[in-house]
A = this chain, B = another copy of it.
């Protein structure tokens, strides 16, 4: 006689768990309960319906109950909500949300995969605006229908996380007038401020009205009111400030809830009840780099957890190596990927980690190849061990590849020496002989070795304003096109002949376009007896991206004569 397994929630985690349970046994009864009309839809593709990239909303639905039954012999009951768990009797109470009918179903094991839901705080006046959220196919159909019907409407997207940015991008691609509001100083938490600035510029350049560091304080009819007092016209408001794990059912059943307010599970994704498992956006997980418990609402981890639960139920040994968090975003012509820790996470979690940062901006392929684009690549590593902690990459080309390599390296406890030595694929259309990752590894080992000192983009404004000695080692024509105000131009090619122009009694800050020529200059000067020499990390290109958005959207004084993004 087979066992009976019930699965609550039929999207990423639930559907994967059910399919794996079937593959491991043909006799067992497997039932999925889904409150909504769809099982197994492509969550992450939802925003792409708004631009028509995914033309038909039906195509977002990957499986249906009929297919589940025919192909997997799995019963998927849509419009059926599990409303209660009787842990003693090992049965659930289910409500058919269409008919209101209620019934019970017993289980041997129960798997909870209820997901997370968009947070919609009770902001004053919220009932006076058309508010939408993006959680499922119905949501996106509603939002899409609404903007299409209104025609030339103004949309405010509140929240600059993945969903917010993707919704803003896709609505903008569809021609709408879009404002994106982020309460924090920058969008996209997986990235630090400096890296997010590139995305700010891209959104701005594509006509998204991006507002950062300002918060919704109230709504009025067709209007978003910000804490700054600014008002934004908006016939449509999309709330995307974040998601909260769905824990009502688990809480009601007395299952333990963790410190992050998500369902607490053990190393095998078992809840505090030995016959109930939980996976996906509703649970909290172990962060492999911080040792902390965290929430990680991502599709990949959900699917892996689901499979592991099915394996564990069937007595297979599973391995839980914790999570580091890897993600990627498309934002118009830019791609942005990250893995592991960033500077702001280390600060926010108050982690006792000493680290150093490397920023390099090499080409994503050989410069002679068509479509070669700079990769803005930032690497964090621990001091003194050199252990890789995290990385972020933003660029128009293949940035995801570089971050996947770092994500892989981190899983093995890699150091920056390891990155330097990696043998990555090279041919001119794909990369450079010294790939971005190797290159970052080289610079990091140099820093670890104490070869040179650096300052960061964020330091430059202060240095300029205090009249520090900044030397631009690019060639004269490059300097004349645009440069840091007050910077002196001594091209690398003239450096050794013009040493007398460089002060020895004060700090000297060197830069070129991307910090590579200036690195050579810094090394030369140090050997020549200049002791207080700094390389400006990221160079003029990095600085341009760092400063541009703020200079365009506020009345700050520019610290460069002009921007140069080439």
List the interface of chain A (C-beta within 8 A of B).
12, 19, 22-27, 42, 44-45, 48, 53-54, 59-60, 67, 70-73, 162, 298-304, 307, 316, 319, 321, 323-330, 335, 337-339, 366, 368-370, 398, 400-401, 403-405, 407-409, 411-412, 414, 417-418, 420-431, 433-435, 438, 442, 449, 492-494, 496, 517, 519-520, 523-524, 527-528
- A403's partner among B323, B407, B425 (CB-CB below 8 A) is B425
Can you list 21 A-B contacts (CB < 8 A)? A23-B520, A24-B523, A26-B527, A27-B527, A42-B368, A45-B368, A53-B369, A70-B492, A71-B493, A71-B520, A300-B424, A300-B426, A304-B420, A304-B438, A319-B417, A324-B423, A326-B425, A327-B426, A404-B435, A411-B423, A412-B418
> Chain B's nearest CB lies how many Å from the CB of A437?
8
Which B residues are in CB contact (< 8 Å) with A434? 300, 303-304
Bound Cα distance from A339 to B426, whole angstroms:
11
Contacts A411-B422, A427-B329, A517-B71; is A368 near B299 (CB within 8 Å)? no
Contact present for B45 and A366 (CB under 8 Å):
yes
Contact present for A330 and B423 (CB under 8 Å):
no
Chain multiplicity (copies): 2
Contact present for A421 and B304 (CB under 8 Å):
yes
Which B residues are in CB contact (< 8 Å) with A328? 425-427, 430-431
Contacts A298-B426, A428-B42; is A48 near B414 (CB within 8 Å)? no
Which B residues are in CB contact (< 8 Å) with A414? 412
Contact present for A67 and B426 (CB under 8 Å):
no
Contact present for B369 and A48 (CB under 8 Å):
yes
Using CB atoms, name the residue of chain B closest to A338.
B425
Bound Cα distance from A382 to B429, whole angstroms:
32
- A330's partner among B408, B427, B517 (CB-CB below 8 A) is B427
Bound Cα distance from A78 to B508, whole angstroms:
36
> Chain B's nearest CB lies how many Å from the CB of A409?
6
Which B residues are in CB contact (< 8 Å) with A19? 520
Using CB atoms, name the residue of chain B closest to A519.
B23
Bound Cα distance from A431 to B398, whole angstroms:
12
Bound Cα distance from A190 to B299, whole angstroms:
34
Using CB atoms, name the residue of chain B closest to A54.
B368
- A433's partner among B300, B316, B335, B433 (CB-CB below 8 A) is B300
Contact present for B408 and A422 (CB under 8 Å):
yes
Bound Cα distance from A417 to B411, whole angstroms:
12
Bound Cα distance from A256 to B12, whole angstroms:
60
Contacts A26-B524, A411-B421, A494-B70; is A335 near B430 (CB within 8 Å)? yes
Bound Cα distance from A398 to B42, whole angstroms:
21
Contact present for B45 and A339 (CB under 8 Å):
no
Contact present for B424 and A407 (CB under 8 Å):
yes
Contact present for B44 and A433 (CB under 8 Å):
yes
Contact present for A423 and B301 (CB under 8 Å):
yes
Contact present for B321 and A426 (CB under 8 Å):
no
Using CB atoms, name the residue of chain B closest to A421.
B321
Contact present for B400 and A431 (CB under 8 Å):
yes
Which B residues are in CB contact (< 8 Å) with A492? 70-71
Contact present for B527 and A25 (CB under 8 Å):
yes
Which B residues are in CB contact (< 8 Å) with A420? 304
The listed residue with most B CB atoms (<10 A of its CB), out of A59, A407, A417, is A407
Contacts A45-B368, A414-B412; is A407 near B431 (CB within 8 Å)? no
Known: A321-B421, A324-B423, A412-B418. 12 other contacts (CB 8 A): A22-B520, A25-B527, A44-B366, A53-B370, A70-B494, A71-B492, A71-B517, A73-B496, A302-B433, A323-B423, A326-B425, A328-B431
Using CB atoms, name the residue of chain B closest to A431.
B400
> Chain B's nearest CB lies how many Å from the CB of A118?
18
Using CB atoms, name the residue of chain B closest to A47.
B428
> Chain B's nearest CB lies how many Å from the CB of A126?
29
- A400's partner among B25, B401, B421 (CB-CB below 8 A) is B401
Contact present for B366 and A430 (CB under 8 Å):
no
Contact present for A330 and B429 (CB under 8 Å):
yes
Bound Cα distance from A527 to B2, whole angstroms:
12
Which B residues are in CB contact (< 8 Å) with A520? 19, 22-23, 71-72
Bound Cα distance from A324 to B401, whole angstroms:
19
Bound Cα distance from A433 to B424, whole angstroms:
23
Contact present for A430 and B330 (CB under 8 Å):
yes
Bound Cα distance from A433 to B70, whole angstroms:
24
Contact present for B433 and A12 (CB under 8 Å):
yes
Using CB atoms, name the residue of chain B closest to A70.
B493
> Chain B's nearest CB lies how many Å from the CB of A406?
9
> Chain B's nearest CB lies how many Å from the CB of A326?
5
